[in-house]
Each structure stands twice: as structure tokens, then as C-alpha cells.
Amino acid sequence: MNRSHGNMPVQAVIFDAYGTLLDVNSAMAAHAADLGPQWPRISADWRAKQLEYSWVRSLTGPTHHEDFWRCTRAALDLVLARHGVRNALLRDLLLDAYLRLDAYPEVPGVLRALRHAGIPAAILSNGSPWMLDTATQAAGIGLLLEAVISVEEVGVFKPDPRVYALACRQFGTAASEMLYVSSNPWDAQAAVHHGFQTLRINRDGAPDEYGLAAMLLDELPDLSRIPELAGA
């Protein structure tokens, strides 16, 4: 059954994983006592460097591609060195925690509501397949997802257009008939330009970027209104 927001049918809801469904800061938060009061800065630096590594590898061509786990691991090693954290055991614990990030509190209920309404929900993520499988099972949301789509199918990271085309291929429908949900402004910008009805999740009230405010379907402080906007 078609669902709609306004005049546009919604055939599926596509979620970014890291930072949207899964709290990327929860790995560092779990070990805040060992990291000290600087842990939020270390966490932010880890995320920034992780993304930088993914973008640089995409821009320098397919022979330089490494999966997201290698980018994540290399980013952590650099950031810990920069902050003077020299603890091999803690490094391994942080990596293990990243594989099992906490889902934001509203996520399971949102996904259950979409499933109850017959609206497929999927992840489209930079994460490698095994990372995403581990993460969704640990967060208890694996069975609530119709599909988990990894950029490894095309061997390039977001925001390359080939990544967003994977969702269209998965559901056999146009981007304009799907909602795309992301907390990352650069990801939302790419989704908008691929033709998705796009929602930005802005938990911290960050300022507008890329002129998104004029292009988005909506900007939300969390995911709780997604079922309503999808027509559930």
C-alpha cells in the first residue's frame, strides 16, 4: 500500500546508521572514566577523522578504497595519539564498543511503528556489512529492518551518487518515492540532490548547512515523528 506525505508516495524509509540510528558518541561515553573529561572532544575528533579518511579514499580512486572499519580504526589510532592516550587495552575496548553502539532511545519504537504500518525501513550506510550486522543485532533492531545496505556494494563512500542509487535498486522505486533520514548535513545534502524526500535529524540545534532548510521535507530534533511523516 502506498503511503504519502503531501502528494508524494512513500514506498520506504531509508536511514543513515551512524549518528542517525546509532549514537556514535556512546563508545567513548562508555569509557569516559578512563578517558577523563576530554572524552567528548576525543569522540568528536574520532568521528571527524573517520569521515575525512572515508572521503579522501573515495576521492583518490578505487585502488585506495578501504572499508569503514579500517577507516574507523586508523582514525582512532591517530586521535588517541594526538590526545596523548597510550593505552592499548583501552584502544581495543573503544573499538569493540564502536561495533555495539547504543541506538537512540526512540529508534526501536519508530521502526516498530513503520513495520506495523507496512512501510519498509532500511539502512544505507558507510559501514561494512559485518559491522552493520553486528551493530543492528547489538542494538536489537536487526529484525525491524527490511534491508541493510552497505556502500561496499559499490566500493565507494557517501556522498558519492552511486551509494544513493543502491536504495533505489533495493526497492525498485524512484528516490522521490522514499524518505531519506540522516543526522549528517552532508549526507542529507547528497540525498536531496539524488531526489529523495529528505529529513535532517538535528539533535543539537546546529545551524543550517548547504542551504538545506529550503530543500528538506523537514528538520527534526529526533526520529519520533518519522512514522507520522511517512504516513504510518
Known catalytic residues are: 16
3-state DSSP helix/strand/coil % of the chain, to nearest 5: 50, 15, 35
Which residue has cell 583518490?
Answer: 60
SS (H, E, C) 151-205: HHHCCCCCCCHHHHHHHHHHHCCCHHHEEEEECCHHHHHHHHHHCCEEEEECCCC
C-alpha grid cell for residue 221?
530534533
C-alpha grid cell for residue 193?
540532490
Distances (CA, A) of 165 to 71, 131, 137, 158: 23, 21, 25, 11
C-alpha grid cell for residue 7?
502528494
Answer for the pair 205, 178: CB distance below 8 angstroms, yes or no: no
Label residue 1 exposed, middle or buried (CB < 10 Å: 0-12, 13-18, 19+). Answer: exposed
